[in-house]
Chain A
Amino acid sequence: MMGGDEKIRIVDLHAFYGESHILHGIDMSVNQGELVTLLGRNGSGRSTTLRSIMNMVGRRTGQIVINGNETIHTPAHKIAHLGVGFCPEERAIFSSLNVEENLMLPPAVRSDGMSLEEIYEIFPNLYERRTSQGTRLSGGEQQMLAMARILRTGANILLLDEITEGLAPVIVRKLAEVLLMLKERGLTILLVEQNFRFAAPIADRHYVMEHGHIVEEVHANELEAKSEMLNTYLGV
């Protein structure tokens, strides 16, 4: 796939933490406005793929093109300014900052980010708790804060790692609504997800990972036909 609508293109990506070789030649791409998931078991390299895009791994080789810019040699603090927002698995809410300080912390990377009012409208809980210490929030609220934080920056490529992990069904539904709303606005989303039932109805495509390789690419309309294969890979 070529053309200007390709927001992320990864070619032959290898990633290392110290001596351990985690990713063994990943090829993938995500287009403008797409919601793509990385499926796979724990340890298959899905989080490392996101962290490699952010240049948060020890070493990486290959090509990572973001919004048309080759970034394999780009320092970590410059990646976000290409319009990328990263929501890590551990959420990384800062305990020394209150909710609003957490929200305001990341600098804007594009000009059309959501305003504080808009964010509080989508996540009313955060407004009520805006003066609480960031880590005093419930798991669900922290997840919303971690999402809201990157929406305010105007990032239009979102890398989301296990955002539903350990959350109550009502919050998972809320997150699905938010993702669909973001997709409608034309944002590009790469989602690492364990909860296949959460991902299946909202995603356009899925990549299945195993042992640091991409072993399968599944389009939304092929889910039915390939469900047996998916079950084998995901062990569900």
Chain B
Amino acid sequence: MTAPVLEVEDLRVRLRTPRGPADVVNGLSYRVGAGETVAVVGESGSGKSVSVLALLGLLPAGIATVTGRALLQGEDLLTMAPERLRQVRGPGAGMVFQDPMTSLNPVLTIGRQIVEGIRAHGDVDKAAARRRAAELLGEVGLPDPVGALDRYPHELSGGMRQRVVIAIALSNSPALLVADEATTALDVTVQAQIIDLVEKLQAERGTGVVWITHDLGVVAGIADRVLVMYGGRCVEDGTVDDVLENPVHPYTRGLLGALPDLARPAVGGVVPDLATVPGVPPAPTDLPAGCVFWPRCPVRGDARCETEQPPLAVIGSADVRLPHRAATWCTDRTSGTESPAGGFR
């Protein structure tokens, strides 16, 4: 196995808020290999965006305290000198943000916004950088890439803008691409195009991808591995097949129940209602003492759930390269009710 592109160990983020310190990320660990896609899934407020912003030092200074380790190609991002971190942003890791309507500067041309990223990392003259920018725009599938250089963000549609943001993220051929809800704001067809694009580019360049989303449909399409986040913790992780077809944690199962089953025909033309997990995630200023999911858990019962925090334990075989793990006390009880297809002992 080759060295991972990104190796996160026990990442913790505490934010200072008016209502006291908020533990937004609580001990997150994962690895992303070259050419691999790890999806981080969870509701809004589960800490998934904060966890990646923390990696690149993009959280507001003075408000966030980040601890743990995050090795990008062997170098710890969290202890890096500011200037080195600046150099890493771009060639080391590129980032695509959620809302293409706001993630580009409205008063600067597309060209300028790509060119400045290229020129920040190497002695490239303006004309060369512009040619490279046009190439990139072509690669991400923008029609008339040269003409697009002189256009402003508001002249492009949301999907086109997101392609521009991806072009910016890829402009320095990063080893790691972080996509934070990159398709959430887009309509379904555009979503699919963007996902295809990232997969294609990833295959060509061997980029590692961290894909943050709350959309399990996207996860199924793109991810190799899945990490389910809740209350700032990883509650379940494993290969995409393990987690999506064999969910263990009640929260994951709740999320999956919320997926419309496309295979199931609509009754009388009516699409069945989406199942949802009732309630809202816990406030990061006031996390439960036991299992973070306890207050909303539909199958809770054990007193242990309320008072003792379940560790992330391997389910099934620990011998495989990517074990399936979950942090819950109720693995044994659940097998009787929903009987996920095998694997429990």
Do A and B come from the same complex? Answer: no
- Residues of B with Cβ closer than 8 Å to A? none
Chain A residues close to B by CB (< 8 Å): none
